Amino acid sequence: MNAWRVFGYLVWKDIKIEFRGKQFLAASATFGVLMLFITGVAMDAAPSLPVTWSAGLLWLNVFFTTAIGLTRHDRKDKEYGASLGLRLIPADPSVVYYAKWVSTCALILLAQAALVLAFFVMFNQHTPSLLGMFVMTLVGGIVGLSGIGSFLSAVTAESAMRDLLLPLLLFPLSVPLFLAVLKITVGAFSAPAFIPWVWVDVLAGYVVMVAVLPWLLYEVLMEV
Amino acid sequence: MNWQVKLLVVLLAAFGALDLYLALLWSPPEAQMGDLVRIMYFHVASAWTAMLAFSVAFVTAVLYVIFRQIKWDVISVSSVEIGLVYTSITLVTGMLWAKPIWNTWWTWDPRLTTTLILWFLFIGYTLLRGTVSGLERRALVSSIYAIVAFADVPVIHLSVKLWRSIHPDLITDSGFQMPGSMAFTLMFGFVVFLLVYVLLLYMRAKSEFLRLRLFQLRQASRALSRDERGGM
Amino acid sequence: MRLVLDGVTVCLETGRSYLLTAENGSGKTTLLQVMAGLIRPTKGRVLWRGKPVTRASKAEVGVVLQPPMIYGDLTGLENLTLYAGLYGVKSPKAVAERWLHRFQLSDAMHRPAREYSKGMRQRLALARALVHAPSLLLLDEPFDGLDVQGIALVQTILRDTVASGGTVFMVAHQLEPVEHVDGRFTLRNGKLVEVS
The residue-averaged pLDDT of A14-27 equals 87
User: Among A167-171, B76-80, C3-7, where is mean pLDDT lowest?
Assistant: C3-7
User: Which pLDDT value is given to residue C97?
Assistant: 93
What is the 8-class DSSP label of residue B132?
B
C23 and C15 in contact (C-beta within 8 Å)? no
User: Which pLDDT value is given to residue C78?
Assistant: 94
Nearest CA in chain A to C82: A9
User: Which pLDDT value is given to residue C145?
Assistant: 84
A213 and A148 in contact (C-beta within 8 Å)? no
Could you please report the per-residue DSSP string of C33-70? HHHHTSS--SS---EETTEE--HHHHTTEEEE-SS--B
User: Which pLDDT value is given to residue B170?
Assistant: 45
Q: Nearest-CA neighbor of B186 among B41, B69, B88?
A: B41
User: Which pLDDT value is given to residue B229?
Assistant: 62
Spatial distance between the Cα atoms of B22 and A56, rounded to a whole number of angstroms: 47
Residues 83-122 of A with CB under 8 A from C: 84-92
C93-151 residue pLDDT tens: 999 999 999 999 988 889 999 999 999 999 999 999 999 999 899 999 888 888 888 88
Report CB contact under 8 Å: C189, B227: yes
Residue-range definition of the domain harbouring residue B120: 3-229
Give the C-alpha distances (Å, rounded to integers) separating C111 from A116, B69, C108, C117. 37, 48, 5, 12
* Mean pLDDT of successive 10-residue stretches along chain B, which has 232 residues: 83 85 78 75 89 95 91 94 95 88 82 90 94 87 92 87 63 59 83 90 90 83 68 42
Q: Nearest-CA neighbor of A182 among A59, A67, A61?
A: A59
Nearest CA in chain C to B137: C1
Q: Is A197 on the interface with B (CB under 8 A)?
A: no
| Interface ipTM | 0.86
| Number of domains chain A is built from | 1
A45-103 residue pLDDT tens: 777 788 888 899 999 999 998 888 887 777 888 889 888 889 888 888 888 889 999 99
| Number of domains chain B is built from | 1
User: Which pLDDT value is given to residue B226?
Assistant: 65
Q: What are the structural domains, with CATH classification, of chain C?
A: 17-195 (3.40.50.300)
* CATH number (domain holding residue B150): 1.20.120
Report CB contact under 8 Å: A199, B162: yes
Chains that touch A (3 or more CB pairs under 8 A): B, C
User: Which pLDDT value is given to residue B167?
Assistant: 44
| Angle, vertex CA C193, rays to CA C190 and CA C196, nearest 5 | 155
Residue-range definition of the domain harbouring residue A202: 2-222
A189-199 residue pLDDT tens: 887 878 888 89
User: Which pLDDT value is given to residue B231?
Assistant: 43
